Structure 1
Amino acid sequence: MPYSTIMVLLDNSRRAYHRLEIATRLAAAQRARLLGLPLIPQPDPGLALLRQQDRGFMDALQARHEAAISQMRHAFEGAADEAPVAVEWRAVAGDPADVVRREACLADLVVAGQSDPDDDEAWIGERFVESLLLGCGRPVLVVPYAGRFASVGATVMVAWSGTREATRALHDALPLLRLARTVHVVCAPHDGGAAREREAPGEHAVASLRYHGIDATLHTLPGVAGDAALGELLLSRAADLGVDLLVMGAYGHARMREVVLGGVTQTLLGAMTVPVFFSH
């Protein structure tokens, strides 16, 4: 079945418009409803305390937030006018992380942007994308802050490790994989080439896709030392294969006050060169 709803997270950054363009194209291809969710960072509590007597400052901050949301909505509705998709604007007040966790249950897929250290308007919250991957309960397509992507999902690479997260990602991505022209399953061996017996081999991933009518080519990467090196190798192979979408499981766990990600996930979040579909 295709996705019925796709949610795009919008901010006031330079890259938000390209992210919206990608989400709109995906929604049109899936014949899905597109949900627009604007995110505005909350004022720093210390700053708000210091300025609590300065009503003019707080009013100016509120006016700026309202203007930003209005601009996002204008862009969202304008993009929808150019594509055959049903849209829904969902402006919800509150802490962005809490808002997304609450609203994400409405979507089959969430489209977000990679953190951009050079654009202050792209900052939503501390480790926002990381907490989103592990906490929203939905697959998340993260769009890099660098580069433009004329297509997303024509040539797909599935990073396969045989784990629960990899299995979840493979099946969550089926609506996109069904529309792909080419699918590669890239398997990274453990311990210099010896696969762990408890993990499903790459052949299982290829067979699973075949059961869904999807032909895939299996590749085995050479063994590397360390998660960071594996993440870099995956990105290198994606470039070699001309991939425009990488599918992988998001590894890690969220604690009360911290987010702990696996090394491969962290490497890809920091150095991604193509959109990455994460599922936890």
Structure 2
Amino acid sequence: MSYKSILVHLDTSARAGARLEVALQLAHRFQARLTGIFSTYIPAPHAFFVMSGTAGYYAEHERQRYERSAALERLFHAELARAAVEGQWIAVDGYANDVVPAYAHLADLIIAGQTDETDPESFIAEQFVEHVILSAGRPVLLLPSVGSFETPGRHLLIAWDGSREATRAIHDAMPFLSHAANVTLLTVNATRAEPPRHRIPGADIALTVARHDVQVDVREVTVDSDTPVGDVLLSQAAESGCDMTVMGAYAHSRLHEVVLGGATRTILKSMTMPVLLSH
């Protein structure tokens, strides 16, 4: 099993070049075809036309977007040739949450970037990353907005909670698992009194992964019941020296996540390394 088609989202943010470099490395590793999809924030024209003196802003925004798209397209093709990777460039118009998922459906792996609150150009659409994760039907490799991640996947941390989403993530990440030097499978159990049958075992799913010739180290962490699981994942990944995390996304309903928080939201906000998410 391998990824044969990779889609990388590109924009005018400061991290677009670094995201492209990671995508090229992975396309070369998996001998995959790389598609660069260019999509940025597009303001609604009517929002400016109703205000006196602002109509020219939209035209100027469109001109700058075209110039940046053309420059990034030239870089994309030059980097494809340098890396000896086959691929194509797609520049889409329209609201990103509406137009990007259709292309994401056609890829084996999607690469996107964490929203950077210090870089306005990284804002693509309202909850763009979350929307892609939930609508793509494919694994999304999300890259942090800070740091350097040239070869993610050397030491993987699998977050296992027994859910459908976690199961999906493990199988979606199998190409990475097959190439990894070390794989740690982590389960997080609370200290509250509960029957043994409610504990989350890791050995069974680890055996399933091992049948793919992947050596897995199983680790169980016990924490207080009010300790956020997302914080535990972040600290365990750092302590284990991992360079990538694999996890299911939004195993609870969106309403549950919004009201109570959740591991997915914690990771999306505070991630320190690339994370492969599946829903």
TM-score by length of structure 1 reads 0.91
Distance 1:34 1:149 in 2: 18
Work out whether residues 45 and 58 of structure 2, in 8 Å CA contact, stay in contact via their aligned partners in 1.
no
Q: Kindly state the Cα deviation for residue 132 of structure 1 after the two structures are TM-superposed.
A: 1.4
Determine if the alignment matches structure 1 residue 117 to structure 2 residue 125: no
Identify if the C-alpha distance between structure 1 residues 199 and 30 changes in structure 2 by more than 3 Å, giving closer, same or farther: farther
* Structure 1 alignment gaps of length 5 or more: none
Q: 1:259 to 1:233 in 2, by over 3 A?
A: closer
Counterpart of 1:30?
30
For the structure 1 residues 160 and 124, does the alpha-carbon distance in structure 2 shift closer, same or farther, using more than 3 Å as the test?
A: same
Please tell me the residue identity of whatever aligns with 1:160: W
Aligned residue for 1:89, secondary structure, equals strand
Any conservation in 2 of the 1:165–1:279 contact (CA below 8 Å)?
Answer: yes
Give, in whole Å, the separation in 2 of the partners of 1:260 and 1:205: 30
Cα 1:158–1:195 shift into 2, 3 Å: farther
SS in 2 for 1:184: strand
Deviations 1:17-43 (CA, angstroms, capped at 9, x unpaired) = 111111111111110000100012121
Q: Is the 8 A contact 1:195 1:201 kept in 2?
A: no
Question: What SS does the corresponding residue of 1:21 show, helix, strand or coil?
Answer: helix
Please name the residue that 1:247 is paired with: 246
Count residues in correspondence: 277
Percent identical: 38
- Residues 253-264 of structure 1: pairs in structure 2 closer than 5 A: 253=253, 263-264=262-263
Note if 1:3 corresponds to 2:32.
no
- Superposed CA deviations along residues 129-164 of structure 1, whole A, max 9, x for unmatched, are 111111221110000001111320011000110111
C-alpha root-mean-square deviation of aligned residues, in Å?
2.4
Structure-2 separation of matches of 1:15 and 1:21? 10
Residue 266 of structure 2: aligned partner: 267
What do the CA deviations read for 1:88-137 (whole angstroms, capped 9, x no partner)?
11122221111111111110110000010000111101111111111221
1:134–1:253 contact (8 Å) kept in structure 2: no
One-letter code of the match for 1:18? A
In the TM superposition, residue 45 of structure 1 has moved relative to its aligned partner by: 5.6
Counterpart of 1:40 in structure 2 is 40
Question: Contact (CA 8 Å) 1:157, 1:245: kept in 2 or not?
Answer: yes
Q: How does 1:187-266 map to 2 (within 5 A)?
A: 187-190=187-190, 192=192, 194=194, 197=197, 201-226=201-226, 229-251=228-250, 252-253=252-253, 263-266=262-265
Gaps of 5+ in 2: none
Partner SS for 2:167:
helix
User: Is the 1:188–1:222 Cα contact (8 Å) retained in structure 2?
Assistant: yes
Shift of 1:197: 3.9
Secondary structure of the residue aligned to 2:58 is helix
Q: Is the 8 A contact 2:48 2:54 kept in 1?
A: no
SS state of the match for residue 35, structure 1? Answer: strand
| Paired amino acid for 2:132 | L
The answer for the alignment partner of 2:89 in structure 1 is 89
Which letter does structure 2 place at the counterpart of 1:147?
G
